[in-house]
């Protein structure tokens, strides 16, 4: 009987243990849950890695989260060229899914299993600087011609902890045919936007869509509306902040924006747009290659996000960061190579990104290119943070917008609640 | 806490092993006569003693892969670890501050309540429906066995796939459920299942009931086969009707099975993660956060590692209590 008791206890423990070990093992298994081409690349790289150990070159590893095949191929090509150009370092890249990227960096930091270079989402940069895993790069790269916002996103206390990879921002896409059919002009103010969206909304079409999920992706799409009123990310409970929340709430209540947006990622929003279910959307330039490939006959164009008080957009994109205490020399050598004008141009074109280097960006596209409005929008784009506690501030902002969208709070209540959370974080 | 339980449970084994080694040492030092020494060795390798050695690998495994993470997690929850001091800097012990803060946190309270509500609702429906199906398929009729086998499919499909499927079923404009409701004129306009706090929870519960029915059905079916046919025969000779047989024979004899099914079901349901993560990610407006999803969010999205582990520990303590009931239930039956 006693032995039975022991086995029973062991069984229960093993079951409950999956709670904790379950978390751990999923981190490992998701490495293998890569897209096929990434898996292929990984195996290729493994073989080159094996060859390289006998060759004697020092290994430099990169983590990135782009799941788009074109992005992976372009990065890989630059890496291959770099490896062929010298024999001191051998660079390999590893794909970590976006949903897991922050978790993997955190786990890696505490277990001392980090790459040499991380290409990460810019609003998270400050948190990892705070963690102390990034190398101080002040004076090692010339970023004077880069967009100020992008440089700020990797600068903490006046020190440079990263190099901007590429830059993007949000703008308003509109379906030209639908606008023409409804006899609408391209909207430039909130009032015009609402009127246009009303006219465009029909049986199977809603006027406007923007990704409203309750996480960083949602915050990214909300802040242009917030900032356009003159409110800041840290100061919401005032008439400006409330006006932004009321505007979004109004779009939902009048049926010109679907409540489903709270479950739509930016990719989902784009799919709704190219399927013709949505007439206008807020989205970024990285959607352009997919849209051109999937819906070549769709007539669409891009314009600035309509303004309340002033034009506003949000700065997105990735930064390179060098992990300290590892192969810093090798990482710097590769970064110097990858940030040269020629390589930047090559990658930006393949990625559908805008260069973070202002001098390159301004001549990067033809005047009638759909990317050009984004370059213009960049002049109004501001970064989120940089702040180590940004994830918590972001959570408060996306929660407030979700509350008004789902009707669980009035704009006044949502603004007050968000403000009290933010005041608890930023003192 | 868990490790203490492990140590406790393994104590007899440790005592035995230690006793054995003591005997060896004793033998080596004080008995110079080889014969007596060999006897002691032989005694030590007697069947029961060797049996205890077989426990050792499992014990070490549990200690390293279960005990260590749990203890680390408990320590972490008493500290103030965040992005600033995960790698460098001092980790201060703040004892119960994380827990105190959590219990004042609305989202935590919602997720605790949600987890309990979700578990109870799922268990009730899974169990009742599973039970009815088990009774139904215990009758002999054509295709009973293959159909019962097909009913196992929901249990075999990966949870993320089921979650995506239900997310589509419950979608507002394109969802099949709204389409059916509209066709039957049960609702005028589309119901916003996953974007309204109350109905989102309902959708999650539906999805999980669908997953859990086969589990309940199969275990109860197995339990039913262990009830001797003679009992039913003699009952029918005595003139018992079906309801009487069910309450006087089937239910009492199934008691151990029912207890196991409910407790195992509780543990499986309580630690739900993937279903919620894929279907709602805790939304809308945090209304479907569970302890597991909230713990993940705190730790890996907001860099509040200590708070996240405190949430995980609350989950652990609740499951521990259920686990103790499980042991009581399984051993009580044997002692009778």
Q: What is chain B's alpha carbon radius of gyration, rounded to the nearest angstrom?
A: 27
Residue B6 in this model has a pLDDT that exceeds 70: no
| Residue at which a domain ends, from A330, A352, A374 | A352
Pair (A39, A102) in one structural domain: yes
The total number of residues shown for chain B amounts to 336
Computed from CA positions of residues B46, B47, B51, B54, in that sequence, does the dihedral angle turn out positive or negative? positive
Pair (B227, B322) in one structural domain: yes
Pair (A145, A205) in one structural domain: no
Whether complex ipTM tops 0.85: no
The answer to the question of residue B96 being in a domain is no
The answer to the question of residue A138 being in a domain is yes
The answer to the question of residue B126 being in a domain is yes
Pair (A69, A96) in one structural domain: yes
Pair (A102, A173) in one structural domain: no
Pair (A211, A281) in one structural domain: yes
Report the number of distinct structural domains present in chain B: 2
Pair (A173, A259) in one structural domain: yes
Pair (B241, B170) in one structural domain: yes
The answer to the question of residue B95 being in a domain is no
**Inter-chain contact B283–A9, Cβ cutoff 8 Å?**
no
Whole-angstrom distance, CA of residue A223 vs CA of residue A312: 9
**Inter-chain contact B323–A13, Cβ cutoff 8 Å?**
yes
Q: Which domain holds residue B70?
A: 2-77
**Inter-chain contact A395–B320, Cβ cutoff 8 Å?**
no
Is the CB of A1 inside 8 Å of chain B's CB atoms?
Answer: yes
Pair (A389, A416) in one structural domain: yes
**Inter-chain contact B301–A128, Cβ cutoff 8 Å?**
no
Whole-angstrom distance, CA of residue A41 vs CA of residue B67: 38
Residue of A nearest to B298 (CA): A392
The answer to the question of residue A9 being in a domain is no
Pair (A307, A201) in one structural domain: yes
The answer to the question of residue A335 being in a domain is yes
The answer to the question of residue A120 being in a domain is yes
**Inter-chain contact A21–B66, Cβ cutoff 8 Å?**
yes
Pair (A344, A404) in one structural domain: no
pLDDT in tens, chain A (427 residues): 455 555 555 555 555 544 444 443 333 333 333 344 444 444 444 444 444 444 578 999 999 999 878 889 999 999 999 999 999 999 999 999 887 898 899 889 888 889 999 999 999 999 999 888 999 999 999 899 998 889 998 999 999 999 999 899 999 999 999 999 999 999 999 999 999 999 999 888 999 999 999 989 999 999 999 999 999 999 999 999 999 999 999 999 999 999 989 988 898 899 999 999 999 999 999 889 889 989 999 999 999 999 999 999 999 999 999 999 889 999 999 999 999 989 999 998 888 889 999 888 888 888 888 899 999 999 899 999 888 889 999 999 999 999 999 999 999 999 999 999 999 988 7
The answer to the question of residue A278 being in a domain is yes
**Are A166 and A246 within 8 A, CB to CB?**
no
E strands along A122-268, which residues?
Answer: 155-156, 159-160, 163-164, 166-169, 171-175, 206-209
A residues 286..305 contacting B (CB < 8 A): none
Is the CB of A56 inside 8 Å of chain B's CB atoms?
Answer: no
Is the CB of A30 inside 8 Å of chain B's CB atoms?
Answer: no
**Inter-chain contact B89–A132, Cβ cutoff 8 Å?**
yes
**Inter-chain contact A106–B299, Cβ cutoff 8 Å?**
yes
Whole-angstrom distance, CA of residue A273 vs CA of residue A288: 12
Pair (A90, A219) in one structural domain: no
Q: Which residues from chain B sit within 8 angstroms of residue A134, using beta carbons?
A: none
Q: Which domain holds residue A189?
A: 169-315+385-425
Pair (B36, B130) in one structural domain: no
State the pLDDT confidence band at B334, using cuts at 50, 70 and 90.
Answer: low
Identify the residue among A14, A126, A263, A402 best suited for mutation to test binding to B, counting B beta carbons within 10 A and taking the highest: A263
The answer to the question of residue B38 being in a domain is yes
Whole-angstrom distance, CA of residue A290 vs CA of residue A389: 34
Pair (B152, B280) in one structural domain: yes
Q: What is the H or E stretch that residue A301 is in?
A: strand A300-303
The answer to the question of residue A376 being in a domain is no
Pair (A311, A420) in one structural domain: yes
The answer to the question of residue B91 being in a domain is no
The answer to the question of residue A371 being in a domain is no
Identify the residue among A406, A410, A418, A421 best suited for mutation to test binding to B, counting B beta carbons within 10 A and taking the highest: A406
Pick the residue with more confidence: B50 or A129? Answer: A129
CATH code: domain of residue A324: 3.40.190.10
Identify the residue among B86, B101, B189 best suited for mutation to test binding to A, counting A beta carbons within 10 A and taking the highest: B86
Pair (B43, B119) in one structural domain: no
What is the model's pLDDT at position A23? 41
Residue of B nearest to A407 (CA): B196
CATH code: domain of residue B262: 1.10.3720.10
Omega before A386 cis (within 30°)? yes
Please name the residue that has the structure tokens 């990434």.
A38
The answer to the question of residue B267 being in a domain is yes
Q: Which residues from chain B sit within 8 angstroms of residue A157, using beta carbons?
A: none
A residues 194..213 contacting B (CB < 8 A): 213
Pair (B158, B21) in one structural domain: no
The answer to the question of residue B98 being in a domain is no
Nearest to B173 among A23, A260, A406 (CB): A260
The answer to the question of residue A68 being in a domain is yes
**Inter-chain contact B6–A103, Cβ cutoff 8 Å?**
no
Identify the residue among A1, A2, A4, A16 best suited for mutation to test binding to B, counting B beta carbons within 10 A and taking the highest: A16
Is the CB of A139 inside 8 Å of chain B's CB atoms?
Answer: no
What is the model's pLDDT at position A148? 87
**Inter-chain contact A391–B303, Cβ cutoff 8 Å?**
yes
Pair (B181, B265) in one structural domain: yes
Report the number of distinct structural domains present in chain A: 2
Whose CA is closest to B321, among B268, B256, B263? Answer: B263
Cβ neighbours of residue A304 closer than 8 Å, sequence gap 6 or more:
A171, A172, A188, A311, A313, A373, A376, A377, A380
Pair (B70, B118) in one structural domain: no
| Residue at which a domain ends, from A334, A352, A370 | A352
User: Going by DSSP bridges, is the β-strand pair A278-283/A159-160 parallel, antiparallel, or unpaired?
Assistant: unpaired
Nearest to A259 among B192, B273, B320 (CB): B192
Pair (A211, A347) in one structural domain: no
The answer to the question of residue B288 being in a domain is yes
E strands along A305-380, which residues?
Answer: 313-316, 318-322, 354-355
């Amino acid at each position: 009987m006693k032995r039975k008791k022991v086995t029973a206890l062991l069984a229960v423990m093993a079951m409950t243990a999956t709670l904790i070990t379950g978390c751990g093992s999923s981190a490992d298994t998701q490495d293998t849950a890569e897209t096929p081409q990434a898996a292929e690349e990984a195996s290729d790289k493994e073989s080159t890695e094996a060859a390289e150990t006998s060759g004697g070159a020092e290994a430099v590893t990169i983590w990135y989260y782009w799941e788009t095949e074109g992005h992976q191929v372009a990065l890989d090509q630059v890496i291959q060229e770099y490896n062929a150009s010298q024999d001191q370092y051998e660079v390999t890249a590893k794909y970590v899914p976006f949903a897991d990227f922050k978790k993997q960096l955190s786990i890696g930091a505490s277990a001392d299993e980090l790459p040499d270079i991380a290409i990460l989402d810019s609003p998270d940069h400050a948190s990892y600087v705070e963690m102390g895993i990034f190398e101080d790069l002040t004076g090692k790269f010339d970023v004077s011609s880069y967009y100020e916002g992008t440089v700020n996103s990797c600068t903490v206390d006046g020190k440079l902890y990263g190099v901007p990879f590429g830059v993007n921002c949000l703008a308003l896409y509109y379906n030209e045919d639908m606008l023409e059919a409804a006899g609408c002009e391209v909207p430039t103010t909130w009032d015009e936007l609402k009127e246009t969206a009303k006219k465009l909304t029909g049986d199977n079409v809603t006027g406007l869509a923007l990704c409203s999920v309750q996480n960083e992706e949602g915050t990214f799409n909300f802040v242009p509306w917030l900032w356009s009123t003159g409110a800041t990310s840290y100061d919401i409970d005032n008439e400006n902040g409330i006006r932004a929340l009321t505007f979004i709430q109004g779009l939902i209540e009048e049926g010109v924006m679907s409540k489903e947006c709270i479950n739509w990622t930016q990719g989902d929003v784009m799919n709704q747009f190219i399927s013709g279910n949505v007439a206008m959307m807020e989205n970024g330039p990285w959607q352009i290659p997919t849209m051109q490939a999937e819906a070549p006959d769709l007539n669409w164009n891009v314009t600035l996000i309509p303004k309340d008080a002033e034009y506003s957009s949000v700065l997105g994109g990735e930064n390179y960061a060098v992990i300290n205490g590892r192969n810093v020399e090798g990482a710097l050598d590769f970064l110097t190579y990858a940030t040269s004008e020629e390589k930047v141009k090559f990658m930006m074109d393949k990625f559908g990104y805008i260069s973070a280097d202002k001098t390159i960006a301004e001549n990067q596209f033809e005047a009638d290119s759909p990317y050009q409005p984004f370059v213009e929008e960049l002049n109004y784009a501001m970064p989120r943070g940089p702040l180590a506690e940004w994830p918590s501030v972001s959570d408060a902002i996306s929660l407030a917008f979700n509350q008004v969208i789902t009707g669980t709070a009035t704009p006044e209540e949502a603004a007050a609640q968000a403000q009290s959370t933010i005041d608890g974080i930023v003192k | 806490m868990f490790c203490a339980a492990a140590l406790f449970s393994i104590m007899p084994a440790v005592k035995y092993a230690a006793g054995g080694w003591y005997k060896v040492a004793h033998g080596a030092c004080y008995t110079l006569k080889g014969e007596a020494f060999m006897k002691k060795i032989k005694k030590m390798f007697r069947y029961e003693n060797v049996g205890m050695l077989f426990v050792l690998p499992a014990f070490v495994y549990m200690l390293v892969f279960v005990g260590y993470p749990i203890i680390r997690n408990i320590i972490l929850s008493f500290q103030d670890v965040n992005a600033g001091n995960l790698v460098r800097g001092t980790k201060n012990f703040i004892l119960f501050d994380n827990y105190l803060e959590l219990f004042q946190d609305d989202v935590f309270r919602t997720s605790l309540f949600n987890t309990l509500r979700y578990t109870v609702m799922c268990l009730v429906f899974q169990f009742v429906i599973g039970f009815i199906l088990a009774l139904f398929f215990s009758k002999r009729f054509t295709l009973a066995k293959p159909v019962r086998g097909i009913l196992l499919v929901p249990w075999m499909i990966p949870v993320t796939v089921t979650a995506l499927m239900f997310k589509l079923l419950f979608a507002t404009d394109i969802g099949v459920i709204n389409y059916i409701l509209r066709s039957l004129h049960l609702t005028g306009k589309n119901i916003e299942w996953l974007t309204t706090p109350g109905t989102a929870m309902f959708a999650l519960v539906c999805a999980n009931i669908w997953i859990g029915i086969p589990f309940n059905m199969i275990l109860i079916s197995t339990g039913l086969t262990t009830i001797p046919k003679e009992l039913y025969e003699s009952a029918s000779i005595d003139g018992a009707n079906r309801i009487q047989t069910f309450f006087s024979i089937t239910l009492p004899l199934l008691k151990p099975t029912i207890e196991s099914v409910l407790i195992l079901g509780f543990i499986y349901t309580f630690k739900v993660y993937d279903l919620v993560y894929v279907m709602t990610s805790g939304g809308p407006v945090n209304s479907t956060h569970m302890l597991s999803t909230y713990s993940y969010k705190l730790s890996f999205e907001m860099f509040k590692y200590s708070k996240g582990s405190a949430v995980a520990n609350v989950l652990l303590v609740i499951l521990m209590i259920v686990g103790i009931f499980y042991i009581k239930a399984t051993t009580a039956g044997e002692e009778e």
